[in-house]
Amino acid sequence: MKIHLYLSLNPEALIASHLAPEEFGAYLAVGTQKYSRGQAMFFEVDPDIHSAYPPFQGIAARCQPHLDGSPRRSTYLAIYRVLEHVPVAALGQLHLVTHDGRVLALNSAPVTSTVDRCFHLYQEFCPVTPRVVSTLDPAEFCARLTDATQPVNVPRIAFAELTLGRLATDIDSSDVGNLPYSGLQHLRECLRELNRKPGKPTKVTVRNVRDDVLYRTIQGGFYVGQGHEVKFYPMPAPTELDSAHHEWWHSAQASFGS
């Protein structure tokens, strides 16, 4: 049986499996019990990767079919500090899984410019999970967070940009549309602090976000990188999701009762 390698982001783990991505995503989200439900996000990892990282050694011997010949759904190879040991170049498609196991695959694309807004809102996924406002665009944000000369840094980071609506260019706008974030006044205050302190490029708004991702809030897409090596996974527009990925989109919206 073919062995697939996956890097799960929530929680962080390196997993070997005989299941193809759609089957693996459904397994992560609903397991084998009907009462088990939950979102999941994971990257495919190049199975031919050459690395001295111990979990990559002896995978074939560890991920064996069951005695009855059925596929091994998951063999956990590592659950701590995984992302920093997987080269960005070895990451393939990013898969977004809804609470009931629907899977959307995203391909990487060149990073696009975001000069149309003054402020950004980022949700970090791995290895840490705060929500942060910033004056830095995604590529700059990645480079700053993974800069070892900075007092606060991580070896590698996976994150997404979330929409700020009109707050991205006008902090005091009364028209915030349907922004779903709790504590909007606190969010405004964080943006005002960045405005008052030009030398401060980031501000944490929520220290540790454990809630599921509301996919309609994704602006642009998902990023993973280190320094100036960044992979970008564009999120399709809602109209495209509704027409080309209707079942996934309907499930993603239903997850939040919207």
Give the pLDDT score at 26: 94
CB 60 within 8 A of CB 66: no
CB 136 within 8 A of CB 146: no
Give the pLDDT score at 178: 84
- Output the 3-class SS for the chain: CCCEEEEEECCEEEEEECCCHHHHHHHHHHCCCCCCCCCEEEEEECCCCCCCCHHHCCHHHHCCCCCCCCCCCCEEEECCCCHHHCCHHHEEEEEEECCCCCEEEECCECCCCCCCCCCEEEEEEECCCCEEEECCCHHHHHHHHCCCCCCCCCCCEEEEEECCHHHHCCCCCCCCCCCCCCCHHHHHHHHHHHHHCCCCCEEEEECCCCCCCCHHHEEEEEEEEECCEEEEEECCCHHHHHHHCHHHHHHHHHCCCC
Buried (b) or exposed (e) across 80-100, using 16+ Cβ within 10 A? eebbebbebebbbebbbbbbb
Give the pLDDT score at 253: 87
Question: How far is it, in rounded angstroms, from Cα 230 to Cα 175?
Answer: 33
Give the pLDDT score at 115: 67
Give the pLDDT score at 24: 97
Give the pLDDT score at 36: 54
Q: What's this model's pTM, rounded to 2 decimal places? A: 0.93
Task: Please report, in tens digits, the pLDDT of each residue of the chain (258 residues total).
Answer: 999 999 999 999 999 999 999 999 999 998 765 445 689 999 999 999 888 899 999 999 999 999 999 999 999 999 999 999 999 999 999 999 999 999 999 999 999 776 667 899 999 999 999 999 999 999 999 999 999 999 999 999 999 999 999 999 999 988 888 899 988 999 999 999 999 998 899 999 999 887 788 999 999 999 999 999 999 999 999 999 999 999 999 999 876 544
CA dihedral 140, 145, 147, 149 (to 10 degrees): 120
Question: How far is it, in rounded angstroms, from Cα 221 to Cα 104?
Answer: 13
